[in-house]
Amino acid sequence: GFLIQGNVESKDFDIGSLISNKLLGKVGMNASLSALMSRRDGMEISIDSVRVNKLEFNGYPYSNIFALGKYNNKIFDGKIICHDPNLDFIFQGLFSFDPKATSKYNYYADIPYANLSALNIDKRDSISILRSRMIADFTSYAGKNIVGNVNILNTSYANSKGDFNIGTIKLS
């Protein structure tokens, strides 16, 4: 195999046009990573650091996104942090990218603040604020059966009609 190490920088790179995805737009980022490629194990990417200054998604320019971790055999294991003015969250754990195979998910996510209206996710109301935490440990078998647990904790939602404490939802 062989090893590639380096830095990647982009400013207003239109990733949506490149991959023909209308939800994605321009991205501005700095990344330091290494990739090890071998015939036996495929490609393993170590993400030392990624700082996304701007990522347009669904018409909203997300900012202040940081990530680190490893990507190997369609599995990401790492941490993603976002401190955007309309989205504050942290994700730590692993998840798979292959819907046709057995996929493992084991992660913690904390969303202290998400303005769903500003993010163009919920346009039914000018106020749409979500707060929640999630602990997940489950396996998806070729996208058909899911076995495991998902705990959605301390969830609350607010809109122009008021604040709603949803509490805890446990799925097994």
Tell me, what DSSP letter sits at residue 19? T
Stated as kind and residue range, the H or E segment containing 15 is helix 15-18
Query: In this structure, are strands 87-96 and 65-72 parallel, antiparallel, or unpaired?
Result: unpaired
Q: What is the pTM of this model?
A: 0.87
| Cα 88–Cα 124–Cα 53 angle in degrees, nearest 5 | 30
Q: What totals of helices (H) and strands (E) does the chain contain, helices first?
A: 1, 11
**What pLDDT is stored for residue 35 in this prediction?**
83
pLDDT of residue 57: 97
Q: What is the pLDDT of residue 72?
A: 86
pLDDT by residue for the chain (172 residues), tens digit each?
778 889 999 999 999 999 999 999 999 999 998 888 777 767 788 989 999 999 999 999 999 999 999 988 888 999 999 999 999 999 999 998 777 788 899 999 999 999 999 999 999 999 999 999 999 999 988 768 889 999 999 999 999 999 999 999 999 9
Mode of pairing for the β-strands spanning 128-141 and 145-159:
antiparallel
- Per DSSP, the residues of 116-157 read TTTTTS--SSS-EEEEEEEEEEEEEETTTEEEEEEEEEEEEE
DSSP state, residue 97: -
Q: Please, which residues bridge with residue 164 across strands? A: 157
pLDDT of residue 142: 79
